[in-house]
Amino acid sequence: MTTADLRRSSARLLPHTPKAFYRTALMAFFFIMGVIFASWAIRIPDVKAALHLSDAELGGLLFGAPLGQLLAIVPSAWLIGRIRSRRTIILGMLLMPTALVSLSLAAGHVSLFVCLLFFGFADNMLNIALNSQAVGVETLYGRSIMATFHGMWSLGGVTGGVVGAVLAPLGVAPLYHFCLIALLAVGVLAALRGWTLPREVRIGHQMTQTRRPVRFDMYLAVLGFIAFGSMATEGAMYDWSSVYFAQVVQPGESLVRVGYVACMSAMVLGRLMADGLINHHGVAPVLQLSGLCIAGGMALALLRPEIGFAAGGFALVGFGMASIVPICYSLAGKSTRVPPQVGISLVSSISFFGFLACPPTVGFLSHLAGLRWALSPIVVVGLLITLAAPLIRRLRP
């Protein structure tokens, strides 16, 4: 079945809503999800100080969010199969802001861990539902647009980071900050909830055969491994970039979040450029460049812990992370062997182990050897992504 056939078959399944409406709604939802996530990430140093947490204690508690994300993978795929991604998006857009507000109410170690577990679960439920819809909308367009959706997530991350970087020095409590973000999320949901795909767009034989048993697939495993490296790097950047600046670079309180904002800003630029690069050069060269940027950027930030070099290094890391997850999710969702939500969930299952393990591992290694050494394995991760990228071309069905 050709790309044109897929678009015509998909169009017959959908009402006469302009495809630009679906794309606009998804871009807005990805943006809000990025704002919510960044609103938490940018206030981690404040929570660390308020609860008097050491690096090791913070690392252990941060384990809650990726654990919740991991636990959400199977229920989310099942839920999308039962009530479709449209309703799952609505549910996720209500649960994630609620979880964000709950984080500001945590008064101790146990309550913070539980709230992070809830936050991670809601985040990945929304993530899988949005990516399932994004694969369908990408199919309607017949070209790569997945990175643009993830670019909106990154733009939301930058926006959330900037808002947090402004509000935190002003003494605005996380509770008021998070409530404001929650109100914004609910408002966007109320306005755009009708502009989502009413049913799933399936690829190839999936349109008629969606109940085949899922077996091990080396192609999906390689996608998962590459996404694993990117998600491990993302976890380290989200949770430890501001802490690295505060403890190692030491630029002063007003500049302690510069590294995080630089990383997220470069992710926005990379994801807005990624679709053009992918359509012109293909996925393997883009993934190889991404791995090299991660390795080189992290090496620069660790070897020269000065504000200019560290911020530039983190920006290179952000640019390197930009394309990897969109590529892997898009390819997994288009696999002709499994339904889109199953392919995305399988790749997520592998990749989220990186997101799960990296932040607490960095915390424990930092306690033993210092934060610079704790972040150094990210250099190796970038090189491994570069080496693994050509396998996609050989294994692609």
Q: Is residue 298 part of a domain?
A: yes
Average confidence (pLDDT) over 92-108: 92
The per-residue pLDDT for 387 is: 94
Say how many C-beta atoms besides its own lie within 10 A of residue 91's C-beta.
16
Q: Is residue 1 part of a domain?
A: no
Q: Is residue 266 part of a domain?
A: yes
Q: Is residue 7 part of a domain?
A: no
Q: Is residue 91 part of a domain?
A: yes
Which range of residues forms the domain containing residue 256?
Answer: 22-198+215-395
Q: Is residue 13 part of a domain?
A: no
**CATH number of 165's domain:** 1.20.1250.20
Number of domains in the chain: 1
Nearest alpha carbon to residue 173 among 245, 244, 237, 101? 101
pLDDT digits (tens, 9 = 90+) for 45-64: 888 888 888 877 887 888 78
The per-residue pLDDT for 199 is: 63
Q: Is residue 254 part of a domain?
A: yes
Average confidence (pLDDT) over 373-397: 89
The per-residue pLDDT for 17 is: 60
Rounded-to-integer distance, Cα 364 and Cα 374, Å? 8
The answer to whether the beta carbons of residues 344 and 292 sit under 8 Å apart is no
Q: Is residue 205 part of a domain?
A: no
Read off the tokens for 214. 């899922």
- Is residue 206 pLDDT above 50, yes or no? no
- Is residue 249 pLDDT above 80, yes or no? yes
Helices 283-303/307-322 angle, 10° precision: 160
pLDDT digits (tens, 9 = 90+) for 267-313: 888 988 888 888 888 889 999 999 999 999 999 999 998 989 999 99
Compute and round to an integer the Cα radius of gyration of the chain. 20
The answer to whether the beta carbons of residues 149 and 30 sit under 8 Å apart is yes
